[in-house]
Chains A and B, each alone.
Chain A
Amino acid sequence: MKTLVKVLSACMLVVLIAGCAAPAATPTPTPKPAPTTAPGQPTQPPSPTPEPTLTPDEQWLKAAELGKFAPAKQDWAAIEAAAKKEGKVIVYANSSRIEKAAAMFMEKYPEITVEGYDLGGDDAVIKVREEQKAGAYVGDVWFSGGGPDIFGDLLPKGYLIPFVPDDLLDVIPPEARNPLVVARYGVRVLGYNTELNPNGCPITNWWQLTEPEWKGKVFIEDPLTDASTMGILTTIASHAEELAAAYRERYGKDPVLDPDTPDAGWLWVKRFAQNSPVPEPGGDEVVEAFATPGMKEAGVGFTSYSKYRDTVKGKLVFDACKGVKPVMGVQTQAYLAVINRASHPNAAKLFIRFVLNEGFEPWNVIGDYSARTDVPAPKGAIPREELNVWTQDDAYVYANIAKMRDFWAMNLLQ
């Protein structure tokens, strides 16, 4: 008995030492950035003489016929056959409607099982980044927003591989597939209470939101906890010229800049933050704050245009401020891509093409817009061509979002 305990204790010591050593020994290989294709040209011919020694990432690219190994013409019969052999596709998405799309896909292709994860944009970014760093290649399809991180991090590192079905090149304009194909656009607009403002939006110029009359009466999803709202503020700041023009239109003179505001864009954000906007914990709270039926007085708010669905149903009295200067809102994009080293690359391609065709149906509702020029907005929604919005510049947002958070917090809380 005593000896047994001794032997055991010796073992424990060994394990203890091993345990201490483990943190250092834990493998964290950083995959070499895969060679990225020229943006927007998935149809680029394959390089005629592949290098004799390929990295594992390149070997996978070659086998999957992606990136620089993409063929001149996509052979969809072959892709479909290979996809059915793979039998499965794992999708990382930021919308719960992925379940519906997955069910539709499996009805069309019973041989292929879809595992759709609804992670939410921020968590999808973290999951892909950590999986790739750890070499745990699980996901096949990226179907989510998170644009700033995609362009600042995931794409440069080769974690996401662009893929556009070549039969859709005519109906998807270059800006919607460069460098990743846009699955859909969502729109954040300035909205108002239609019940209390029968003559339309009380705001005609965004600079009104910085005036004393609207102090404490503008609602916004808390930018400090919602990264997408912070991204929208950053996008707004990037449109200095339009905001300067709107300033001139309202006050008849050029805006006077402060030492900490490089241009009229940042000046607007500063004045807006200083005018005590009301942060709300979630998107539902924002629209309920100014557009619940039966209110006595109401402010305005930045809200997702998809809430207009509830106006149609009679649950809310919200509409977008359509004529406001400089724009009615900002649109953000959700992208589709193949995840690096995916185990089911062909099923991933097939799923991407499906979502860009009939698989878009779950998202074809008020508030979402297809990237395809031949898919009109659903009935009741503002038509695509009348949508006067800025498109989020993901690269600018990636470079400036941290700075914007500091700037916003300082001006809001001091």
Chain B
Amino acid sequence: MRLFRFLAFGAAIFAIAAMVTTLLGWSLPAMVAMGAACVSALSAGIGSTLARTPHPEEAPVVALPLAALPLAAAESPLPALEEPRSGEPLRVELPGLSDARLRIRFARAIAAGVPTMTEEAAFALIERFENMRGNTSKAAKSARDFKAALSEGQGAGHAPVAVQAERTRGVIKSQRESIAIMTDHNRKGAKDLRTMGNELESGMDLLKGIEEITERSRLIAFNMAVEAARIGEKGRGFRVIVGELRRLNDQTVDFSHKVSELLVRFRDYNDSVVARLAEETERVAKDVQGGMKAAEEAVESLIAASGTADHFARDVSALVEIIDKDLDGVLESLQFQDITRQMIEGALKTLDEAGLDVENSLSTLGLVDSGAADLARRERIRKVLLDRSRTKGEKAAIMEVKS
């Protein structure tokens, strides 16, 4: 009797195993091993035994200690079972399979969210990808335009910035030389004017000599007048000559004074012109040289900036190229993600089929438990799964599983 009951359990387990292995096309020894492994796997997490305490109102239950069942059952002796009390009907239970049935539901609920989440993540990534590609395209265009402006100039008739800067540098150099020449000319002019001033001074010295001559001539005229007076009437004509000589002397002195005054004014004017010319020349030269230096520095900065900008534009282009390649890599990764999603969908279908197979097997064996015991079992499994779940989504999926 005991052996009969045990064989009934064995038959039930191996019927399920047979179904699975037949589907997979496995051989008989593999079927035997699969039978043990299948039940063992489906009952994982519920303890080392499937035995439970029967409800008082239920018929006595003979529970099969699966943990004691060897993997290669055909090679080991079957464990002995207790004899039920005489006269009571035998009720067989396979709580491991019932658990497996529920676990498949939970597993399906958890996995079902994956394809949706994967697809949503892929779409979000694609959206960002499109934005990034748009931005990199803009950056690449800006870099190209910038580089073109630097190397080709903006529009027809405009030379490149670097060329313009080089030209300006040349112009500044030429202007600096012109200013130096002009300053030199001015200095020479001032020197000539100073020489002329010296000549004027010499002229004024000459006038002093004329004044001395005039003074001496006046003295001679006076003496001649005295002599003319002494000789009386005979000296009258001579007095007229002396008078003319005096007048001539006076005119000479007057003329000499006027020329002297003119020369002084001219010399003063010349001195002031020389001074002003020297001062202005120095000032203008200093200002122009300062301006030239600033312009030269600006041009040098422009040339340096142009070089830096050229490097920058090249760097941006290179960076955009790298980002574009990376983005292409993202596209490839997204394909992997999508392939994974499709694989999960395939796995879900297989899981559904496995669930249905277990359901049918239990139904065939008349072991479908849909009452309070099933509810209790489901809640117990839910608790175990909730305790070990690691994500919010997993928890939510576990909570959503109903009968």
Whether chain B is bound by chain A comes out as: no
A interface residues (Cβ-Cβ under 8 A, vs B): none
B interface residues (Cβ-Cβ under 8 A, vs A): none
